[in-house]
Structures are given as C-alpha cells and as structure tokens.
Structure 1
Amino acid sequence: MPGGFNLRRPPDDAKEAVQAAAREDGWIIEGVFGWLARQALPRATILVWLVLPEEECIRNLINRPIKSGEDPDARSALLQWCSEYRTRTNANSYAGHRDIHEAFTGEKHRLCTRDEIETFPSTVNRG
C-alpha cells in the first residue's frame, strides 16, 4: 500500500486494483503474492516466473537501501520470509508459484539466472 513499509491494502481492494490493471491493453504485474497474481491470469498473454536462488534474493535484500518505515525487525522478518520461500506451501511460496506456472496455458517462461532475465526482453515477440 502506498505511504509506508509493510502496510497492506484490504484484500478486496488489492484484488480490484490488480484486476483493473489487467484490464489495460499492456501491463506487467509482479506476482510475489500468488493470490493476487491469480487475479490477472485470465487476461495474461505471457507468464514469466523468476526463480533465482534464495541466497541471491537474500543478498539483494540485504544490499538494498532501507525503505521508508522499515525498521530492523521488519527487515529481519522479510529476510526470514525470503529464506522460507521453498518450504512454505501457501500461494506466496515456490509451490504456489509453481502451481500457477504449471496451470497457465498461455506462453510461459521460467528464468533462473540473471543472464536469462537480462536477455529475456529481447526475445519477446511484441507483435
């Protein structure tokens, strides 16, 4: 939610915002929250799953600047949440994202390295 770190919109408001964005002609929605990503899938033409090693994700979080409103406890909780990505079983986990990726019937990609991520945009047919 705009205005601060770790503030959440009411779930129905978040779903409506994602659905509204997905009604546009061209859009990209980040889907770490799988329950929200599912709201956009009916209008998605390409699904891209970024699957970097957790160690790299944790290192990126440690190296990023502190966000407005973030405190050491929130940073620690975020690092813990990231480190549990493959062991959680909810919609915001590796298993949840895998299920979304496997069920998607359109064009889909799984990118596992920085090189794959960096070269991917040049491979997309912008029709």
Structure 2
Amino acid sequence: MPRATCLIWLDLPVEDCIANLTERGVRGSGDRASFSVLLEWARDYEGRGSSSSRAAHSDLSKSFGGDAVVLPNRKAAEEFLRITSSGS
C-alpha cells in the first residue's frame, strides 16, 4: 500500500458475488465441500470483522492517500474498464 498510487475497489453486492461463484462452480483441485465453505465465506462478507470484511475494505478505501475508485456494481465496473482501456 505505501507505494500504491491508485486503489480500485470492486464493491459488488454479495448476491452478485454468490451468483458469480455459483456460475463458475468448483475449480481446479477443489471439491464440493471446499466450494460450500467458499460460498459461506462470501455470504459472510458484510458480517465478519476481519481484514477481509466489507467494513475493513471500506475503511481502507476511505483512508487511502492516493486516488480511490469504488465500483459498486457490474455496470460501473464495465464502464470503468471501457473508459480506461480506451485511453480516455
């Protein structure tokens, strides 16, 4: 973080994350049991108190000293990618 000049937080709704994970399904050497654990971990994003929680990510975004971009949904993320990839 000390050398970062920009922070981009893809802050999708938890429901979107669950849908994306479910669509992708089990990957690599994973199994159904580990996939179920992953889904539960994702569902708890707003409720957990660790550094991998929504509250911690929000605090990080607010306290970041450089440019910070929060993308709250897929449409905003797609627009950000369109703009940045076109060089505008």
1:64 to 14, 21, 24: 24
- Cα RMSD of the aligned pairs, angstroms, is 1.5
Compare relative contact order (CA 8 Å, sep 6+) and give the higher one, 1 or 2.
2
1:5-84 aligned within 5 A? 41-84=1-44
Superposed CA deviations along residues 7-62 of structure 1, whole A, max 9, x for unmatched, are xxxxxxxxxxxxxxxxxxxxxxxxxxxxxxxxxx1111110111111111001001
Equivalents in 2 of 1:48, 1:105: separation in Å? 13
The one-letter amino acid of 1:111's match is L
* Residues 8 and 71 in structure 2, CA contact (< 8 A), matched pair in contact too: yes
1:103 maps to 63
The total of aligned residue pairs comes to 85
- Give the Cα–Cα distance (whole angstroms) in 1 for the partners of residues 76 and 28 of structure 2: 31
Q: For structure 1, list consecutive stretches of 5 or more residues without a partner in the other structure.
A: 1-40
2:46 is paired with a residue of what secondary structure? coil
Instruction: Look up the SS of the partner of 1:48 in the other structure.
Output: strand
The question of whether the paired residues in 1 share the 8 Å contact of 2:26 and 2:32 is answered with no
TM superposition outliers: structure 1 runs of 4+ over 2 Å: none
1:113 and 1:96 map into 2 onto residues whose CA distance is 19
> What SS does the corresponding residue of 1:43 show, helix, strand or coil?
coil
TM-score (norm 1): 0.63
Instruction: Tell me by how many angstroms 1:66 deviates.
Output: 2.3
